[in-house]
Structure 1
Amino acid sequence: MSEAPRLKRVLRRLAEGVVTRFRNDSRRWAQMLDGLDPEIFVALLDPRGLVLEANATALRLAGLPRERLIGQPVWEAPWTLDLPASRLQWRQLVQRAAAGDSVREDLQIRLPDGQVRTVDLHLRAEPDRRGRPRYLIPSARDVTEERQNRDALSEHLRRHRFHLGNTSMAVIEWDARLRIRDWSASAEAMFGWTRAEALDRSASELGLLAESERGNRQRWLRDLYSANEILSPVLCRCRRRDGSELLVETHRSLLRDGAGQIVSLLSFSQDVSAREQSLRDLRASEARYHGVFDQATVGVALLDAQGRWLQVNRSLCKIVGYDEAELLRLDFQSITHPEDLAKDVDLANRVLAGEIPGYQMEKRYLRRDGSLVWVLLHVGRIDATAELPVCFVSVIEDISARKAAERRLQALQISLEKQVGERTQQLRLSATASEQRNVELAQVAETTGLLAGARDVDEAMRIVGRSCRTLFPLADAALYLATEAPDRLQLREHWGNGPRPAENLLADHCWGLRRGHEHRVEEPGDPLRCRHHGGGEDGDDRAHSCLPLMALGERLGLLSLSWRAGAGWAPDPVLLRSLAEQIGLAIGNVRLREELRRQAQHDPLTGLLNRRQLDEHLRQRGGEYQRSGRGCSLLLLDLDYFKTINDRFGHEAGDRVLQEAAALFRRCARVEEAVFRLGGEEFVMVLATEDPGEAERAAERIRAEMQTLRVSRRGQILPAVTVSIGIACLPGDSPDVHKLVNLADEALYAAKHGGRNRAQRYDRLSRPPELPQARRS
């Protein structure tokens, strides 16, 4: 006989015994179970899982009368009879509940009509007096639709997160209060905030908008309550987490519920900073071009062979103090200082004679009011044509400031050496007071030495910051330097634990700058506090000291310190003033050296390197040739008939031609090649090749491009200007790099006498006869 029927009979007899044992309780359990929520399946099991009682809902799900269900194992009931996994799950749950666990799991059952449903099953044991399980009570609720909705929601959220994580635009979802509800991976990359950090925060809390855009939140709110689903795109300046700014273009759309209320706002943003920067750079480039075209910043003049002024510009009139009509009635000899006249006339005669193409010299002019002005004079010759005689073109640069700077530098160096010696002696004498003072004096002396060797102002600022942090460790300090605006100073260095000082400082806001010496405030209620230290309505109770930085009576900046009043520490006034003096002298020295270095290396008209830099460049080329055997080629370029431009159109037009020609030569040069201006209309280009053929091709290309160059001045197209080029190669023409200029000059001379507008390589041609000496001018 099969074991299954026998097991069923045994279980049924056991169930009948249990039912008999609990006959009195059965009616009570049935009434109690049927009184529960009809949507909930409830039953009563013995510890082995046999059904003792079930409510009407359970009987309906089983599709059996009560008599047939009672006594069966719960996993043998019709609702799981053909679902093996559910039957096994039932058995395991009964075993766990009988062991004392309260279990809750989803379970699949089959209804009498064949539907498979999911129920939330909760199974627990009812213990007897000894704590052993007396009954097992299962209860279940149909959660099929609920689980389907949960799965659908999970799939929707998964797709939503996929789109947020993979779109290239920064996608942000905002609620109706403009607080962040969702934040895409591209938003993390663009703004620097992670999704966890951004959620449920506003744009102001994250600092997403730049200071100039803080009013946009109200505009966004107005758009929210006045627009439809799609809002117009906006362009605003935002800020990343690290404080850097970016320009963002944002497209927005609204999501409303059935009642028309706003549910959320979606914004799609992209970084357009590079695009806007390109537009700004283009506009700035155009503005610079028109500024150079419309106004020369140096004096420009055209003179005849006798030295009479033929045409002058406004800058020259401003330099010499004459108006244009007065200056045109004079010659250059009448306003030149007598000590400089002989040298100027001699050089002018050599230019007229063709011995030199032009010259450059420093000289003095007598201004209309009798004062002297130092100028740097560049003179070139414009050859005679059928219409115009030979004349000169002069570029005059006012170097009075440089000359004064040289005098101040010399005086400053003497004063600095004297003051350094005096101050060092004073500090050494006072060093015996304490060991701390010794350390401070050593630090000041070291700072003085470092400042004397500083290459530029930025390096001097770093030296000052390093020293002040050591000397005044308990103070917050800021170092301001004067700008071109006489009443405004700019922050260059600050240190300490306090907030960052203002970037700009008005001189009127500081008592130290107004008084010209140290201004110290140590009382919290002092009415003479500086405004940049809380001297306004919102007072600051910290003590402070402001020391102007001076050199030769000129105000260069401000050293400002603040510290906690009453803390038992304050900076030593003597040490502080000493350091301020050293800083002022050092900054003045560095600034003068920087200005002299810049003026000494570049041609002021064209911006090209000057003759001195050419000598240094050739020296480096010669050294490279000695080390590696790599030669070079030198092109000497001279504009043809340049004097005609000055004669016909004036010095301003000639200046414009020189600038355009210089720009063309720079464009034709490669990165490793250099272009220089020797003077007048003569230029030098050093090529990074020793091949004569390649050098000739490069010269021919420059000549062809120069022939097509068109320069306009005030809407007028000037005549084309050609160029003659002399070529010399190292080592093909000479192994001595310093002879290349002379060899190229001979080749240029041959090109000029060969008809101009040509390139000629040096081939030891004999020089043509000297031109007759021009009339002295």
Structure 2
Amino acid sequence: MGQNLSAREIELSQMTVDQRLAALDINDIDITLLRLVHQKLVSNPQASFNIAGYTFPEFILSIKNQEYEATWLPLLWQIFHYDPESFLSALQILRKVAALEFDAVNPHTGLPVIDTAVANDLSQAPVAMLTLDRQGCAHFANPLFLRYFGSGDLAGIAGKTVEELILNEPLAATAKQLLQGAQLPHHLLVSLYDGSATRFFECHVACASWQDESVLLITMEDTTQRMSSPEELLRFRMALDSSIDAIYLIDREQMRFIDANETATKILAYSRAELLQLGPQDLKPDAGELERINKRFDEIIHSDAKTGMIETVHQRKDGSRLPVEVYLRAMMSEQRQILVAVVRDISSRLKAEADLRTSEDKFRGIFNQAAIGLAHLTLEGRWFQTNKKFSEIVGYSPLEMQNMSFQELTHPGDLQADEEMVRGLIAGHYPNYTKEKRYIHKDGHAVWVNITVSLVYDRNGKPVYAVSAIEDITNRKKIEWDLLHLANHDSLTGLPNRLLIQDRLSQAIAHAHRKGTQTGVILIDIDRFKNINDSLGHGIGDLIIVEIGRRLSFIMKGDNAVGRLGGDEFVVMLSDLASGDMLAATAQNILDALSQPMAIYEHEFFLTGSLGLSVYPKDGADSQTLLKNADTAMYRAKDAGGNNMQFYAHEMNARALARFTTEGGLRRSLERDEFVLHYQPQIDVLSGRVVGMEALLRWQPLDKPAVAPAEFIPIAEETGLIVPIGEWVLRAACRQTVLWQEQGFAPLRVAVNLSARQFKQKNIVELVNRVLEETGCRPEWLELEITESVVMEDPQSATDTLQELSDMGVHLSIDDFGTGYSSLSYLKRFPIDTLKIDQSFVRDISTDADDAAIARAVIALAHSMRLEVVAEGVETIEQLEYLRAQGCDLMQGYYFSRPLPPEDIEKFLIMNKSRSRTTPMPKMVSTR
């Protein structure tokens, strides 16, 4: 408690609170209010520490001390912020406690009386105060009132009425009615224009009396910033003045309307004052609706968006019922939960919806009973309404269709064109379109339809959705196809006829022209077919023609490139030819197919054919010219005795004949035992000893010159003959190395090249194992060479195959290393033993720095991976010395020996054995 109190104050402090208050003539009601004031003051965090620490008796005693007035006044205003009358009463009681005298009630006005001291306090308080004389004209105003309503000084308000001073109509009307004794709500939300902008205030209005004059007390809290900050509330305030919708505010806790606009009063037929005495429950919603409304209010209040909508019914003042749609927004205002409601009369809409449902029911009946398919689609292409007939066409129910788009039903071959048509329609390039297209039925088959599509627009001319009419034309299309097939196909074989072949050939030529490729034609005439017809009849002849058509189609894999020109003439067309060799290879396949025996009833026929070949663009720029020139070449083949092919161009013909001759000889070479193996020694660099041989294939046809490997190996690879030839090489090489061991030579490792086709054979491991067992060759005597390009085609599969071979004990090497595209990450995974440096890098190793660097790098790489290195094509001492200096392990090439037949190899081995004891690395055989 404070110090330096007088004796009287100490005496008073010794009195009980009740004795003190009794001495001041304070009644029980005022004591209760005082206790409330004390409780509020001491618990308010903004109170000074002196007041906050006082007990109630100390508080009563301290009221007289004037130094605390500056604290009481704003704190009292804060405590009774929402009730100016309570604030005024509390202030007067405090003054009474401080022993100031005043009258309780003005006998003329019946209003509470304000004494001079209180009036002086109010002049500085946050209350706008206006005094009025008996004529209701302004007499005095405090600074706050002048700030909001006056002209800046007292002279500016003298003699003016409340209506003249308070330009806000609702506030002026409320003040006037309160001055006249009305019991009205006196809590208003008003807007005032201060000369530069509109400001918003929450106003609490009360009345009192002072010196026989009426006093108007208005608390005004400037809420402009709070009102302007939330954009939604600002829009609401603007809507209150101009909205054609009914708008009212609901105090959620009290379930009372606290504000409403004029539209609300007109729609509900209540005055604004009447509405402010009501709440949503007073508008008599239907049974059970109030509970739903309360629940919906709480859902919106606790939601993240704070917004929502509810449909309900309002009862007007006259008892009529009005269906409404209420849009709600929840907000906090002055610690209260407020719901802003925008109410819309939906009676017209409900009637329109009912009429629309009736209309839709009629439409739906017509829509579903239509004899053609009808469908509505969104602009994105999704079905949202389909009829029964359309469901029958595509096999999907209307419900299933709602989850699908037209793209999902459209045949892939028609989809791109369909999407382009839709885009053009939406872009306004045409008002509608009709086309034939295919849908995919639910069971998977194609359905041909004729479809007409148009758009439905809104009143602004903007497209809303699409309407389609769909007619099933599958049967009609089938008839058309049958007629078209008859017109374009041979009735006996079903193959394209001359008309269709010419059309397709023209398309192929146009395609080849664009891509810069070639197109080939093979015209086929069956040799001596007239004799069959004449001797056995046309029935047998027709069966032969059908079988020939079947064989030709099988060769061309059914790609519609085979046609029948008539009689015993057929034509084959090939597109995107890289060279004439591809055309010649196909022609050879045709000759082979024709030569196969043909059993018809009890007869067996061995047919041959004469084939004429022509190529675009060399032999003609159009289909007719190509066919004519192929026909010319075909007659040249007949003149040559039949059973052969002739190119229209002589130089191509010579090349094709040579290839044909080579391939034909290869097919018979194994049977005739025309292949031999030569062997090239592999020399150990350090010791000079022969440690291995590479087996090299040679072809020596009977009574003809030998054929170079470069000529026949590619043909063998292309035709697949390399597989049986390669097996022969493997077997012969293994048998030969066993023979050398039996003759007393030191064990030699023989290297055999595996071709790409051989290595890809699934049984290659089984084949190698079988050959080793049959020949008695030990696995470590065999080395298999595979080019790096072959193993890198499918590294994983190659790794598995190589591992199986390695597990058998077979030596593995990568041939021509450096010419392909090996990945080192795969190379280290392959179970290989040797890398062979390709002779292209060895050839200029002594003169080309790049080749030398490559060879050096390969040797270093191999040794880092613990692999043996073999250099191929060593022909000079300079090459040998360089490779030896780099640590190369083995060499082979003409410097040491050409590839030799087995009997010469035996002499070489004997000579090498005697020389290796004296001088390592001799030049064994002249390279010249």
TM-score, normalised to structure 1's length?
0.31
Higher relative contact order (CA 8 A, sep 6+): 1
